[in-house]
Amino acid sequence: MPETTRRADRPADRLSGTRYGNRPTMKDVAARAGVGLKTVSRVVNGEPGVTPDTERRVQEAIDALGFRRNDSARVLRKGRTASIGLVLEDLADPFYGPLSRAVEEVARAHGALLINGSSAEDPEREQELALALCARRVDGLVVIPAGDDHRYLEPEIRAGVATVFVDRPAGKIDADVVLSDNYGGARDGVAHLIAHGHRRIGFIGDMPRIHTAAERLRGYRAAMEDAGIPVEERWMSLGATDPVRVRRAAEEMLAGPSPVTAIFAGNNRVTVTVVRVLAEQSRPVALVGFDDIELADLLQPGVTVVAQDAAALGRTAAERLFRQLDGTLVQPERIELPTRLITRGSGELPPAG
Amino acid sequence: MPETTRRADRPADRLSGTRYGNRPTMKDVAARAGVGLKTVSRVVNGEPGVTPDTERRVQEAIDALGFRRNDSARVLRKGRTASIGLVLEDLADPFYGPLSRAVEEVARAHGALLINGSSAEDPEREQELALALCARRVDGLVVIPAGDDHRYLEPEIRAGVATVFVDRPAGKIDADVVLSDNYGGARDGVAHLIAHGHRRIGFIGDMPRIHTAAERLRGYRAAMEDAGIPVEERWMSLGATDPVRVRRAAEEMLAGPSPVTAIFAGNNRVTVTVVRVLAEQSRPVALVGFDDIELADLLQPGVTVVAQDAAALGRTAAERLFRQLDGTLVQPERIELPTRLITRGSGELPPAG
DNA sequence: TAGAGCCTGGACAACGTTGTCAGATGCGCG
DNA sequence: CGCGCATCTGACAACGTTGTCCAGGCTCTA
């Protein structure tokens, strides 16, 4: 049949509607066990009021047919899905692994499953994902925002979808947010470099439209200003953090007559690339990175970082989400978790050249 | 005894049944727009046969009420959820990040969402998770097995749940499997060490009940045997791969009168710990690790590894899953992806001592 | 031995959506 | 002006489960 679908380009529309491969239902089980439908339901759900003998008969029928309760139908009836959604930027990013896992653990403790998807830093994809999750009636949503306007979630929140934003604040709506102290962490990290004698300090960060990136840049500027150091434009690089771009940025600020003697790297990806670039330099350049990276202590020198606790971010957010669902929470709040400066050598190098 | 739907200790049972916070339904939209229920359905799904004027009225009502289609009800009707489940070991493990992401991308391309959970290497939890996903009627399941008996999935597979196992084979059932060539990779890695003059080579791996661990051990033994080197018991450590245990194992094989001159590390976690231990040794010890690790090239010396392509594993598995759903696939198959030896220095060190 | 009360089991409606089908409407044409 | 046809619309059942409520059978007591 030529179905002329007008806007059938939405995800869920693309799978066709073949039935489950003929799965047994409670009705089938009931027929086989010679009992009523509701009795099967009672057995499946461990409700009281079934004689051991009847229960045994039902159980046998269940085993024989390979019955498994259809939670979709159950959800329709009960109104709760016991699942929460997580919209993050990139599952493959080592920063989000622990965060994701922490959210999952909390969900598990509350008997909920986790559905997650990556926005790939694309606001439109974030929205598409979040709304798809809402259509599935997740009980709650943990969002690591890619966009800066979340008014599209207003009807959902009003309808009772618990919502918590992590890592970056929500845009244009009032909602729970759990953040790291990006500003303070960056400021301290840069101040650390200044304390070790640096004055020409480079900053390589992500696009400033990303909240964390903007905050870290603000921290950098604050530390410099506190020390009375005027920042030169060419010390700063703000843009995509792919290796090619970062490498060029680093090499540029390390070239010329008065190169930077230290670099502050705005996130884990930047840090990794900068470490590579610095390894190729003839003179030592100090480095402090935002986000911890694995094996940072084993490099020569060890990489000094401003570490944030990704797991704590996820855990805190998820716990807050379930407290929203409990009804114990009313007022949206902004929670800021502290960062920690871990000195390993690279940030304590004195200025060279 | 076949495990079945039983008692009320299952996750989904713990959330109580409060209704959605009074969400508008198609009926409400229909009432407000002054049209029939089915017409709303048509508009929502972009079906043909609605005049522009009617469509506009319906659309306005949708916007005004903040209506969002309830996919649970839709699923109940259509029989497909457009979602697939992924059961893995630990979301936070850097090896599974890219794998997970790859599965997600394929799912996305097919318009499906991804629900995932961590088994924490616990067979019971694996089963609980997989069955919970089936109860939600995921269309398919990608499983990284923790246990070695998957007969509990037989009714599900028979009922049409597409199933693919990744990284490790299924136990006691016939199903699609996508693996790395663990045996060949380990054998080549160890042979590489032997080629560089080593004879006393240690092996530190995971519990042999884990298929990958067993295969890699087999590869180690094969390489040693091919070279005519009798393996001493104390060169091998097979057990949990927590840092404490691995550290002790490494230190033990490096002590005594005839210590190993090289170590083959059975997975990424082991490699990381061994690198730490070796950094403390006075004499150089060669190292080849299974799985690539970030920044391996920047360590002194760079860490030689047998790399597997986690993303390719995930992608291949997910694609196979959707081909099962298409009906293009019939016979279960075992697909083995090659590994790649990446030399960076640590594996090319000559024997010392 | 009759009545009260408890326990078990089942009929039925409802959850929100989609597929089916038939009715209503409008249009062109004889 | 009426008929056929195409187009648009809506009533209704069904998806598989759970909550409500009542019937029937049993035990227990007076």
Q: Report the range out of A319-333, B28-42, B224-238 with the highest average pLDDT.
A: B224-238
Of all residues in chain B, the percent with pLDDT exceeding 90 is 84
Percent of chain B topping pLDDT 70: 94
Protein-covered nucleotides of chain D (CB closer than 7 Å) are 7-12, 14-20
Strand-pair partners of B264: B203, B288
Closest nucleotide (C1' vs CA) to A137 is C16
- Write the pLDDT tens digit of every residue in B159-213: 889 999 999 999 999 999 999 999 999 999 999 999 999 999 999 999 999 999 9
Residue–nucleotide distance: B52 CA to D3 C1' (Å): 28
Sheet holding A340-342: strands in order across? A236-238, A201-205, A262-265, A286-290, A304-307, A340-342
Of A73, A93, A117, the CB nearest to B113: A117
The architecture (CATH level 2) of A11-69 comes to Orthogonal Bundle (1.10)
Mean pLDDT on B112-134: 94
Chain A 11-40 residues in 7 Å CB range of strand C: 17, 30, 34-39
- CB-CB contact of B146 with B122 (8 Å): yes
- Lowest mean pLDDT of A53-57, A187-191, A288-292, B283-287, name the range: A53-57
- What is the per-residue pLDDT across A269-289, written as a single tens digit (0 to 9) for each? 999 999 999 999 999 999 999
Give residue A23's pLDDT: 87
* CB-CB under 8 Å, A298 with B293: no
Mean pLDDT in chain B? 91
Of the given ranges (A325-334, B82-91, B294-303), which has the lowest mean pLDDT? A325-334
More confident residue, B199 or A52: B199
The number of C-beta contacts closer than 8 angstroms across A and B is 256
Mean pLDDT, residues A3-11 taken together? 30
Mean pLDDT of B147-162: 93
| Cis? peptide before A301, omega within 30° of 0 | yes
What is residue B267's predicted lDDT score, i.e. its pLDDT? 94
CA distance A238 to B157: 50
Q: Within 10 A of A207 (CB to CB), how many other CB atoms are there?
A: 12
d(CA A45, CA A7): 40
Tell me how crowded residue B326 is: count the other CB atoms within 10 A of its CB. 10
| Residue pointed to by tokens 């961590």 | B118
**Residue A187: partners with Cβ closer than 8 Å, 6 or more residues away:** A219, A220, A222, A223, A226
pLDDT at A8 over 70: no
N-term to C-term CA, chain B? 57
pLDDT digits (tens, 9 = 90+) for B249-287: 999 999 999 999 999 999 999 999 999 999 999 999 999
Kindly report, as residue ranges, where domains of CATH 1.10.260.40 are found in chain B: 24-69
Q: Is the pLDDT of residue B1 over 50?
A: no
Does the structure show a pLDDT above 90 at A49?
A: no
Query: DSSP state, B111?
Result: T
| Terminal-residue alpha carbon distance, chain A | 75
Q: Which pLDDT value is given to residue A122?
A: 95
Task: Report the pLDDT value the prediction gives residue B18, as an integer from 0 to 100.
Answer: 44
pLDDT at B46 over 60: yes
Nearest to A264 by CA among A335, A187, A324, A332: A187
Cα–Cα distance between B3 and B299 in angstroms, integer? 49
The pLDDT of B132-153, averaged and rounded, is 95
Q: Cα B223–B226–B230 angle (5° rounding)?
A: 85
**pLDDT tens digit sequence for B66-117:** 999 999 999 999 888 999 999 999 999 889 999 999 999 999 999 999 998 9
Tens-place pLDDT, residues A240-266: 999 999 999 999 999 999 999 999 999
State how far the Cα of A12 lies from the Cα of A5, in Å rounded to an integer. Answer: 13
Could you tell me the CA-to-CA distances from B114 to A125, B101, B294, B338 in Å, in that order?
15, 10, 26, 27
- The answer to whether the CB of A285 falls within 8 A of the CB of A346 is no
Chain region(s) in chain B for CATH 3.40.50.2300: 81-179+310-337, 182-309
- pLDDT attached to residue B13: 32
Higher pLDDT, A307 or B6: A307
CA of A209: how far to CAs of A19, A120, A122, in Å?
Answer: 45, 15, 12
Model pLDDT, residue A199:
97
The answer, yes or no, to whether residue A12 has pLDDT greater than 60, is no
Strands, E assignment, A64-156: 83-88, 113-118, 140-143
Bases of chain C within 7 A of a CB of the protein:
7-12, 14-20
Residue B259: what pLDDT? Answer: 96
The partner residue sitting opposite B20, judged by closest CB among A83, A159, A279, is A159
Give the pLDDT band of residue A15 (cuts 50, 70, 90). Answer: very low
Inter-CA distances, B172 with A133, B148, B160, B267, B309, Å: 35, 7, 19, 25, 26
CATH level 3 topology of B24-69? 434 Repressor (Amino-terminal Domain) (1.10.260)
Distance CA B299, CA B259 (A): 23
Nearest CA in chain A to B24: A159
Match 């680093």 to its residue by tokens.
Answer: A250
Q: Which two tokens stand for residue B161?
A: 């749940």
| The residue to which tokens 């289609």 are assigned | B69
The yes-or-no verdict on residue A11 having pLDDT over 70 is no
Taking CA–CA distances from B75, the nearest residue in chain A reads: A72
Give the SS3 label for residue A17. coil
- pLDDT recorded at residue A21: 55
Secondary structure element (H or E) that encloses residue A24, with its range = none
* Residue-averaged pLDDT of chain A: 91
The architecture in CATH of the region B81-179+310-337 reads 3-Layer(aba) Sandwich (3.40)
Could you tell me the distance in Å between the CA of residue B36 and the C1' of nucleotide D6? 21
Is residue B129 scored above 90 in pLDDT?
Answer: yes
CATH 3.40.50.2300 domain span(s) along chain A? 81-180+310-337, 182-309
| Angle between helix B37-44 and B26-33 (nearest 10) | 110
Which residues, 6 or more positions from A267, have their beta carbon under 8 angstroms from its beta carbon? A95, A205, A206, A212, A213, A216, A241, A289, A290, A291
Model pLDDT, residue A79: 85
Residues 6+ apart with CB under 8 A from A7: B46
Q: Compute the distance between CA of residue A155 and CA of residue A215 in angstroms, rounded to an integer.
A: 29
Q: Is the pLDDT of residue B22 over 80?
A: no
Percent of chain A at pLDDT exceeding 70: 94
Instruction: Find out if CATH 3.40.50.2300 is the number for domain A182-309.
Output: yes
Q: A69–B18: do the CB atoms touch at under 8 Å?
A: no
pLDDT above 50 (res B239): yes
Architecture of domain A81-180+310-337: 3-Layer(aba) Sandwich (3.40)
- Closest by alpha carbon to B270, among B297, B295, B238, B300? B238
Does the pLDDT at position A17 exceed 90? no
What span, in angstroms and rounded, lies between the C-alpha atoms of B250 and B277?
7
